[in-house]
Structure 1
Amino acid sequence: MSQISNAIEKRDQGPGAVIEQYKQELALVAASHVKVDTFARLAVGALRQNPKLAAAAQSNPGSLMSALMTAARLGLEPGTEQFYLRPIKRKGVAEVQGIVGYQGIVELIYNAGAASSVVVEVVRANDQFNYVPGLHERPVHNVDWFGDRGDLVGVYAYAVMAGGATSKVVVLSRTHINRAKAKSDGADSDYSPWRTDEEAMWLKTAARRLGKWVPTSAERLTMPAERTDTVLPVGSAAPALDAADPDEDEGPVDGELEPAGGWPETAQPPQ
């Protein structure tokens, strides 16, 4: 019986219990469309699937809640390609880092209601790609989906706005990507998305640049079709992304909010 009691006590003091304890605080900062119970289950599921992530969360629950607060505030799903949770070590101390993924940025663009579609695609060496600004409204990209496409050479992104116009087209080469990667905190660590899912990070870099030119929102904005004139114009401020440098900073978006009573005593959110 003592072993069972110890197991229950250990479970109740684990990261899942911390998430449960702070659900009310998550609900206070979460975007209105977030269902906090579902959000919490996703977070716990991510911990269960990754032992090193769970260990980092156990060691530093404050960093876990900092990341989850950011995900909730942006209305993104934790532990998915919308919002990565990854274990890192900072000065030898394990902690959880939250990173907005490319699907998360695309979600923020759709939330604003100004774009009817968002296109973010990588270009590989054997693809046929042509885009001349001023001549082409959008890139012409032909792909042999069943052949050898070759190595990554570029990425592009654009949005088709509700009225049919095309936003600014973002086109990035490997050189641009490498510059962004060089400024990313922990890009060479074992669990960095730059190593585990390089293509997704290329897509994220382009999507983030696109976020400079189209509206983004953590809240899902809804309005009657006849009121499209009230949608933010292309190139207006992007409220969901302006907390981080959209040009080059491809590192994490750190949490900014601390719940009443502070974080668990074992750790504080990263500074």
Structure 2
Amino acid sequence: MTGTISAAIEKRDTGPGALIEQYRDEYASLMPSHINPDQWVRMAVGAIRGDEKLMRAAATDTGVFLRELRTAARLGLEPGTEQFYLTRRRSKAHGGREIIKGIVGYQGIVELIYRAGAVSSVIVETVRAADSFQYVPGRDERPVHGVDWFGGDRGDLVGVYAYAVMKDGATSKVVVLNRAQVMQAKAKSDGAHSEYSPWNTSEEAMWLKTGARRLAKWVPTSAEYMRERLRAAVEASQGASATTEPLPPVDLADLGDEEPLEGEIVEDES
């Protein structure tokens, strides 16, 4: 009997997935109220246990891994999805071994914008050489982007644009970036020219993220917007200034550098 118990203890899961479950309550305390902690934990555990290479990278330094998940929990984003990527990157501090780096994705930024409650829709699109594109600031409310969906190759990426339609029907600031401006953002990303960088493996997604991140500077991305609306309603009803302190906005630093440190990310190997 003693041998059986000892064997069971030895086989008990003590890996990264088990640690996520162990710290479930801590993560839950960080999450926005609308997030289901159990579902979030299941998603995080599934993402790490479903990829052997991610599992090994997480096990290299579980402290770093759990810290990256804290960012996902605080932002209320789903780990292991296009909202919040769990990626591998080489670490000099760990002898060149891989660790986990969390990256807020394009869908994560868009989710934060929607969640604030100020917008009814968010449009982020890339423009290619064969497309037609017209937008004159001060004259046009929104860009007019023509795409021949059935005409074959649309050509190289030449630009990206992003804007939001607010709940009152107004259009937010329209962000338009040409190739040179996107390349400037790429240049700020450490190791962007590495063969493992998403700038090389998922280029269009990085263009979209660049546009979405610039848009996030001009539209609400947090509960601050909803709190300010409540404050205004209270003031209107009471005829006096409310004293409720606003919630802090989502810091753009949470969304990574100009583009996050993807340079050391290691792509899946066949």
| One-letter amino acid of the counterpart of residue 20, structure 1 | E
Asked whether 1:250 is paired with 2:251, we answer no
Counterpart position of 1:72: 73
Asked whether 1:106 is paired with 2:110, we answer yes
Separation in 2 of the partners of 1:175 and 1:183? 13
Separation in 2 of the partners of 1:43 and 1:185? 27
Q: In the superposition, relative to structure 1, how do residues 219 and 39 fare at CA in structure 2: closer, same or farther (>3 Å)? A: farther
- Give 1 or 2: higher helix fraction: 2
Larger Rg: 2
| One-letter amino acid of the counterpart of residue 241, structure 1 | D
1:163-207 CA-to-partner distances (Å, cap 9, x unmatched) read: 111111001112111221222234345554323322111111111
| One-letter amino acid of the counterpart of residue 95, structure 1 | I
Count matched residues: 244
| One-letter amino acid of the counterpart of residue 89, structure 1 | R
Counterpart position of 1:138: 142
| One-letter amino acid of the counterpart of residue 167, structure 2 | A
RMSD: 3.2
Asked whether 1:240 is paired with 2:250, we answer yes
Separation in 1 of the partners of 2:191 and 2:89? 8
Q: CA deviation at 1:12?
A: 0.6
Instruction: Tell which deviates more after alignment, 183-192 or 86-95.
Output: 183-192
Structure 1 runs (4+) deviating above 6 angstroms are 5-8
SS state at 2:177 partner: strand
Counterpart position of 1:165: 170
SS state at 1:243 partner: helix
Q: In the superposition, relative to structure 1, how do residues 196 and 44 fare at CA in structure 2: closer, same or farther (>3 Å)? A: farther
TM-score by length of 2: 0.79
| One-letter amino acid of the counterpart of residue 140, structure 1 | V
1:221-255 CA-to-partner distances (Å, cap 9, x unmatched) read: 5989x96x99xxxxxx9811343588x621159xx
Percent pairwise identity:
63
Asked whether 1:180 is paired with 2:185, we answer yes
Consecutive unaligned residues of structure 1, counting only runs of 5 or more, are: 231-236, 254-271
Counterpart position of 2:40: 39
Consecutive unaligned residues of structure 2, counting only runs of 5 or more, are: 237-246, 263-270
TM-score by length of 1: 0.79
Task: Work out whether residues 67 and 98 of structure 1, in 8 Å CA contact, stay in contact via their aligned partners in 2.
Answer: yes
1:62-110 CA-to-partner distances (Å, cap 9, x unmatched) read: 1111111000100111111111110101202421101111111111111
Asked whether 1:116 is paired with 2:140, we answer no
